[in-house]
Amino acid sequence: MTPPEHHRPKAIRDRLAAGRAEREAVPLEAHAEVDAGPGRPDPVELLTDQDATRLQELVPIRHGRMRATPFTFYRGAAAIMASDLSRTPTTGLRVQLCGDAHLSNFGVFNGPDRRLVFDLNDFDETLPGPFEWDLKRLAASVTIAGRHREHSTSQVAASTRAAVRGYRRTIAGAVDVSPLDVHYRRLDVEAFVADTDGKIGKQARATAKKASRKTSLRALDKLTEVVDGRRRIVSRPPEVVRIDDLVAGTDRDRISDFFDRYRATLPPHRAAVIDRYRFVDIAHKIVGVGSVGTRCLIVLLECDLGTPLFMQFKEANPSVLEPYCGETECEQQGERVVRGQRLLQSAGDILLGWSRYHRPDGGNADFYFRQLWDGKGSADVDVMGPKRLERYAELCGGALALAHARAGDAALISGYLGDDRTIDDVLVTFAEAYADLNERDHTAHGDAIRAGRVPAVDEPEA
């Protein structure tokens, strides 16, 4: 229960008041605005500008995945929304942003104690910035997902409102909690499943069970085969392609140095775990929608018992937020991702680290490392009914609020948002307008593909 205002410490009261005072510069109602005027950059050009640094043979797959639906387009269009948000009224209440807080970037994974946790799980775009940018991206994603599922207008609004309400109530609840307790507070999947009845509870249990089976042993069965007595990753072009030449000949030393630099970013007791494994095989693996075309490799390691460990190292490019929020203070982009993730998550991957690869051509590529399958799973937004989407959206809003409370000032944000539903309704209006804009951008992207401006291919069904 929230204590009466006069019972709170003066420092808390002062920060709540400072948050409320921020409304004089940026009223809550101002967040309903979406600027789609003539000065708006061409959304297709913003996307194709990103293609320049990607593996060109994979760029058509990226655009093929994005054109499938307005929701898949939105998943790959973080750069477009970052540009759009920079043109809206913006508060000075900064946190470590996720940077891409749409519905599909939340999910479950194993904490260090091997219990499943629900939290944000994608940090490629993380950077300090205005807290509401994450909240707006989440709200718009709920509206776009609900429309894709053909929910009624009132049902879509209810789901979007639930996401904002979940954020507002959770950030308010964090005001009177110590920083240490906020750091440890997490959305425990087992507790959530136990407290959820009916069809939604059954679906939640199925998602948790599926995630719990996603281990390195499971990956070994799904991703590898034995050839001439040697375990190796199976090539399934273009999704998975073995890369023998990366570890052959003169490049072996470069790869070894690259891995040693990653090891140096781990605490000594975590590095000691990695030291017990040896290299077996490596492959390139396509992941996601917006990330397609960036370099993402999976590595199979093995200990003396023959037990596998799959690691993923993923290229980290500058955040799409940097043109508007400032460049990262980190020396490497992989470091930016890892430090942002450690700030925002309640319980993270114990093997999370980063490294810079020095290419033979003299260039550099930044990467971050994590376990490939460690109880990871996500709810399938594409099959959610109205009630389940509403419940899931509220859960995502709560998870985002906890992340912001760890990395920012909950009292300032809560004071700004207030304790009524004003911001809930305002962001429903914003999300509806932005979903309209996203649909127009999706259509423009499809037109550019048909006109030959943008290369795209459809992947065969599995």
Dihedral, CA atoms, 181, 182, 183, 184, nearest 10 degrees?
50
Q: Which of 131, 10, 123 is nearest to 409 (CA)?
A: 131
Q: Which of 386, 339, 320, 1 is nearest to 156 (CA)?
A: 386
Q: Which of 46, 96, 138, 167 is nearest to 430 (CA)?
A: 138
Residue type, 151: H
Percent composition of the chain: helix, strand, coil (DSSP 3-state, to 5): 50, 15, 35
Average confidence (pLDDT) over 284-298: 88
User: Is residue 43 pLDDT above 90, yes or no?
Assistant: yes
For residue 216, name the pLDDT band (cuts at 50, 70, 90): low
Q: Which helix (H) or strand (E) holds 107?
A: strand 106-110
Q: Which two tokens stand for residue 321?
A: 């937020």
pLDDT of 129 reads: 98
Average confidence (pLDDT) over 56-63: 94
Q: Which helix (H) or strand (E) holds 108?
A: strand 106-110
pLDDT of 250 reads: 45
Q: Which two tokens stand for residue 407?
A: 């990395």
pLDDT of 159 reads: 98
For residue 130, name the pLDDT band (cuts at 50, 70, 90): very high
Per-residue pLDDT of 344-383, as tens digits, reads 998 888 999 999 998 777 789 999 999 987 667 778 898 8
Task: For the chain, give the percent of residues with pLDDT over 70.
Answer: 89
Average confidence (pLDDT) over 98-119: 87
Average confidence (pLDDT) over 188-212: 60
Per-residue pLDDT of 239-277, as tens digits, reads 898 886 445 544 667 778 899 999 999 999 999 999 999
218-227 CB contacts, 8 Å cutoff, 24+ apart: 218/373, 219/308, 219/310, 219/372, 219/373, 220/300, 220/308, 220/310, 223/298, 223/300, 223/310, 224/281, 224/300, 224/308
Q: Which two tokens stand for residue 195?
A: 């407290």
Strand partners, 344: none
- Among the residue ranges 19-28, 179-188, 419-428, the one predicted with the least confidence is 179-188
DSSP-based three-state secondary structure for 377 = strand
Average confidence (pLDDT) over 90-96: 97
- Return the number of other C-beta atoms located less than 10 Å from residue 308's C-beta: 21
Mean pLDDT, the chain, whole residue set = 90
User: Is residue 1 pLDDT above 80, yes or no?
Assistant: no
Instruction: For residues 106 and 403, give the distance between their C-alpha atoms in angstroms, rounded to a whole number.
Output: 12
The answer to whether the CB of 219 falls within 8 A of the CB of 233 is no
Q: Which helix (H) or strand (E) holds 216?
A: helix 216-223
For residue 204, name the pLDDT band (cuts at 50, 70, 90): low
Average confidence (pLDDT) over 92-100: 97
Average confidence (pLDDT) over 20-46: 96
Q: Which helix (H) or strand (E) holds 76?
A: none
Per-residue pLDDT of 141-173, as tens digits, reads 999 999 999 999 999 999 999 999 999 999 999
Instruction: For residues 19 and 56, give the distance between their C-alpha atoms in angstroms, rounded to a whole number.
Output: 46
User: Is residue 139 pLDDT above 70, yes or no?
Assistant: yes
pLDDT of 346 reads: 80
For residue 232, give every residue at least 6 positions away whose Cβ sits within 8 Å of its Cβ, in sequence order, or none.
Answer: 224, 225, 226, 242, 280, 281, 300
Over 248-281, what HEC string results? CCCHHHHHHHHHHHHHCCCCHHHHHHHCCCEEEE
Instruction: For residues 362 and 344, give the distance between their C-alpha atoms in angstroms, rounded to a whole number.
Output: 34
For residue 462, name the pLDDT band (cuts at 50, 70, 90): very low
User: Is residue 128 pLDDT above 60, yes or no?
Assistant: yes
User: Is residue 226 pLDDT above 70, yes or no?
Assistant: yes
Q: Which helix (H) or strand (E) holds 195?
A: none
Residue-range domain boundaries for the chain: 5-212+379-450, 216-371
For residue 188, name the pLDDT band (cuts at 50, 70, 90): low
Q: Where are the beta strands (DSSP E) in 160-277?
A: 187-188, 224-227, 230-233, 240-242
Residue type, 5: E
